[in-house]
Amino acid sequence: MNVEITDLTRRFGRNQAVDGVSLQAGPGVFGLLGPNGAGKTTLLRMMATVIPPTTGHLRLLGRDPGAYGPRREVRRRLGYLPQNLGYYPGFTVAEFVEYFALLKEMPAARVPAAVATAVERVDLGGRAKAKLRTLSGGMLRRVGIAQAIVNEPELLLLDEPTAGLDPEQRVNFRALLRDLGQRATVVVSTHLVEDVGAACSQVALMDQGKIVFDATPDELTARGTEQGTGDAPLERGYTAVLAAARS
Amino acid sequence: MTDTDPGVPEAPADVDLGRVWISVAAQVWRRQPGWLERTAGRLLRSPGLARALLTTPSLLLPWLLTSIAVLAAGAAATTDSGQPLVALVAPAVAAAAIAYAYGPGMDPAWELSCSMAISDRMVLLVRALAVFAVNAVLGLAASAVSASGAAAAVTFGWLIPMTAVCAFALAVATVARSANAGAAAGVAAWLITVLSGRVASGHFAAAVTDTFLFLPYLAIGAVCAAIALYATRIPRGTLR
C-alpha cells in the first residue's frame, strides 16, 4: 500500500479539521469527495507532508514521513497540487515546472526532458515560453498539474485539480489521471462527483472530518438507488450517504 | 492522394517522433542559468537551492535598489552631520529584508515549497544568510563612504546589533508565520533600542557605540536564532 493512514487527526485550535481518519490506497485513482469544509484539503496537506498530524499514524510509500530521511525520500517521489497554487508571475511555464523539478531533487541532467514531457502532457507545449502572468486560470491549473507530475511521482495528490478547466480540458485531464493511475497512487480531492465517476477506481467520502464512506464508485452509485437527490446516479449516492451520515 | 507531402521524406518506421519532439523541446525550453546561479549551485551543491536563493523576494532588484537608496541617504546624512546614521539605519533595513525573505504571503508558492525534497528550512536559512550578507556589504560600503570623525569609530560597530535585530525579526516572522509581523517587530525593537540608548546615555548613537551592549546583542541573536530553528523544526515522528 502506498498510503496507510490510521486514526489520523488534525486540530487547528478548537477546530477538529480531521477526526480519526483511517484509509489505505494502492496504485490507482482514489477520489476524495465531500462538501466544503469536510477536511479533504487538510487530509491532503498532511499526506503531502506540508503539515504534521496532531495524532495518528501515517505511512507513505512504505515510509514514516515524520522522520527527516524518510520524509525527504517520500517528497522526491511525491507530486502535489495545492488548492491555491501560488506562482511567480515572471516565470515562464517551463521555468516554473523546472524550478519544482529541481526542488524535488531530480538529477539535473534529467530535468529538461522531464519538464518538456510534463508540459506536453498537460497540452501547454504551445505556451511553454509564456510568462505565467499572461495565462488564464485554467492554464495556470494545468501548469500546477505539470509541476506535480514532472518527477513521475509514485504518489500524486491533487486538490481540486479540475477547478477552472473547461469541459474539453476536464475530459483530457481525466484520461491523464487514468493513465497516471496505472503506475502511481493518485489521490484526487474534489467536490465534483462526475470527476470521480469518470476517473476513480476507489472513492472515500468525508464529512465533518470523518470518512463516512470508502468503497468503489459503483457502490456509491448503488447507495443512491432508493434515496438521495441529484441529477446523476453518483450524485444521488453522494447525497444519500451524506444524509445517512448526518442523521 | 497520399497523406504525406511528396517533397518531405517520410520518417523511418522505427523513429518515435514523440520522443524526438520531447528532446527538441527540452533543448529549446531549457533555461540557461546565469553565472550567479551557477556559482551558487556549486557552492550550495544543489541547483534547486540555488534557484530558490535567486527567487528570494528581498533580493529582487526593486528591493535591492530601495536598500541602496536608503543607505545612500544615510551615508549622505552621516557625512553632513557627523552622526553615524548609517549605523542606525542599516540594522532596521536588514531586519525588514530578513523578514521578507521567505514565508507565507511573501513566497507565492510557499505551500508547494513545503512539500519539496529540499526542505523549506534549508531555503529559509540560505536566503536569510544571503540577505544578511548582502545587507552587511551594502552597510559596509555606506559606512566606508561616510566614515569620518565619530562615524569612523562605529563603522563596524553596527554589525553586531544588526545580527541581533535580524535574528529577532527572523524569529518573529517564523513563529508568527508573517513577514509583516517580523519586519514590524525587528524595526520596532531597533527603534526602542536606539531611543533607550539615547535616554540612558544622552547620545543618539549609544546603541551602536556602547561596547558593553555587544554581549547582550550576541546573546539575543543566539536565542532568536534558536527560536527560528525551533519554529521551523522537523517534527520527530507522528504521534500515536
- CATH number of the CATH domain containing A182: 3.40.50.300
B113-150, pLDDT tens digit by residue? 889 998 887 888 888 888 888 888 888 787 777 765 55
Structure confidence at residue A119 (pLDDT): 95
Instruction: State the Cα–Cα distance between residues A64 and A94, nearest whole angstrom.
Output: 32
**A147 and A162 fall within a common domain:** no
**A97 and A72 fall within a common domain:** no
* Cell numbers that stand for A223 in this block: 447507495
Q: Three-state secondary structure along B112-126?
A: HHCCCCCCHHHHHHH
Q: Is B55 within 8 Å of B37 (Cβ atoms)?
A: no
**A71 and A89 fall within a common domain:** no
**A88 and A136 fall within a common domain:** yes
**A207 and A235 fall within a common domain:** yes
Query: Which of B21, B109, B235 is the closest to A88 by Cβ?
Result: B109
**A67 and A179 fall within a common domain:** yes
* Residue % of chain B over a pLDDT of 70: 87
**A13 and A110 fall within a common domain:** no
Angle among Cα A64, B118, B46 to the nearest 5 degrees reads 140
- Please determine, for residue B152, whether its predicted confidence score (pLDDT) is greater than 70: no
A69-123, pLDDT tens digit by residue? 899 999 999 999 999 888 888 899 999 999 999 999 999 889 999 999 999 999 9
Q: For residue A133, give the DSSP letter.
A: G
Using an 8 Å CB-CB cutoff, list chain A residues near B126.
none
Q: Which residues pair with A12 in a beta bridge?
A: A15
Structure confidence at residue B238 (pLDDT): 42
- For residue A15, the enclosing domain spans 3-77+154-246
Query: Which of B22, B51, B109 is the closest to A102 by Cβ?
Result: B51
Residue from B17, B61, B238 whose CB has the most chain A CBs within 10 Å, to mutate: B238
Structure confidence at residue B2 (pLDDT): 45
Cβ A104–B117 below 8 Å, yes or no?
A: yes
| Domain end call among A122, A152, A182 | A152
Q: Which residues contact B67 (CB under 8 A, 6 or more apart)?
A: B93, B97, B135, B138
The model's pTM is 0.82
**A135 and A207 fall within a common domain:** no
Instruction: State the Cα–Cα distance between residues A28 and B223, nearest whole angstrom.
Output: 48
**A96 and A29 fall within a common domain:** no
Residue numbers of B between 126 and 145 with CB closer than 8 Å to A: none
Structure confidence at residue B3 (pLDDT): 52
**A30 and A58 fall within a common domain:** yes
Cβ B234–A95 below 8 Å, yes or no?
A: no
How many structural domains are present in chain A? 2
- Please determine, for residue A217, whether its predicted confidence score (pLDDT) is greater than 80: yes
| Domain end call among A130, A152, A174 | A152
Cβ B111–A117 below 8 Å, yes or no?
A: no
A1-49, pLDDT tens digit by residue? 899 999 999 999 889 999 999 999 999 999 999 999 999 999 999 999 9
Greatest alpha-carbon pair distance for chain A in Å reads 57
- Please determine, for residue A191, whether its predicted confidence score (pLDDT) is greater than 70: yes
Rounded average pLDDT over B22-45? 87
Cβ B51–A67 below 8 Å, yes or no?
A: no
Residue from A103, A143, A149 whose CB has the most chain B CBs within 10 Å, to mutate: A103
**A65 and A144 fall within a common domain:** no
Give the residue ranges of DSSP H helices in chain A.
Answer: 40-47, 68-76, 93-103, 111-121, 137-149, 167-180, 193-199, 217-223, 233-246
Read out DSSP for A23-65? Answer: EEE-SEEEEEE--TTSSHHHHHHHHTTSS--SEEEEEETTB-T
Distances (CA, A) of B168 to A247, B152, B163: 52, 27, 9
Instruction: State the Cα–Cα distance between residues B159 and B146, nearest whole angstrom.
Output: 16
A129-139, pLDDT tens digit by residue? 999 999 998 89
**A198 and A239 fall within a common domain:** yes
| Domain end call among A152, A187, A210 | A152
Structure confidence at residue B21 (pLDDT): 86
**From B238, which residue of chain A is nearest by alpha-carbon distance?**
A66
- Please determine, for residue B202, whether its predicted confidence score (pLDDT) is greater than 90: no
Instruction: State the Cα–Cα distance between residues B149 and B113, nearest whole angstrom.
Output: 48
- Please determine, for residue B91, whether its predicted confidence score (pLDDT) is greater than 50: yes
Residue from B37, B46, B116, B239 whose CB has the most chain A CBs within 10 Å, to mutate: B116
